[in-house]
Amino acid sequence: MTLLGPGDGTRLTALGSTYTTKADGAATRGAYWLVEEEFWGSTTPLHTHTTADEAFYVLAGRAAVWLDGGETEAGPGTFLLVPRGRPHALRRLTDEPVRMLTLVAPAGMEQFFQAVADAGEEELLADPERLVELAAEHGTEILGDHPGL
C-alpha cells in the first residue's frame, strides 16, 4: 500500500511541467503512472503517444486542448482521455500553472521525462532532432509545433 499526503511524491521537472509522482510503474507493476502535473509552459508540441493512453483531470487553471483538428477549453473539473495514437497538444490560458491529475497507461512515460532531465533539457531544446529521437525511444512521436499558434 502507498499513502502520500498533499505535495508528497517524487518531483521531476521537464519540458514545461513539474510532475509529482503519486504512483509509478514500479508501484503499479507497470499498469500506469499517476502524477499531479503543474503545466507552467506556454504550449506543448503536437504529439502522439504510440504505446500509452493519457488522461487528464484539471484541478485548477485553464488550458486549450488541441485534439481532432481544433481546440477545446479545459477548466477545473474537465476530464480528457487521449487514446494512444491520437495527436494532441496543450496551451496554457491562465497566468498560473494548470494543475492536473495525469494518468498514463501503461507506465513508462516517466522514463522519457527522466531521460530529458538526465540529458539536460537546455541541450535537448538546442538540438530538436535529438529531442525527437529521445521521445521516439520512449513511445512519443513529436509531430511539430503547437498547431494553434
Residue 38's pLDDT is 97
Question: Which phi-psi region, left, alpha or beta, contains residue 124 (left: φ > 0; alpha: ψ -120 to 50)?
Answer: alpha
Residue 66's pLDDT is 93
Rounded to two decimals, the pTM is 0.89
Residue 149's pLDDT is 67
Please give the single-letter amino acid code of residue 141: E
Residue 24's pLDDT is 94
Q: Which of 94, 96, 101 is nearest to 78 (CA)?
A: 101
pLDDT tens-place values along the chain, 149 residues long: 788 888 899 999 898 899 999 999 999 999 999 999 999 999 999 999 999 999 999 999 999 999 988 999 999 999 999 999 999 999 999 999 999 999 999 999 898 888 889 888 888 788 888 988 988 999 899 898 888 76
Residue 68's pLDDT is 86
Give the domains, in start order, of the chain with CATH numbers. 11-108 (2.60.120.10)
Integer angstrom CA distances of residue 11 from 35, 84, 97, 135, 137: 9, 25, 16, 20, 22
Residue 11's pLDDT is 94
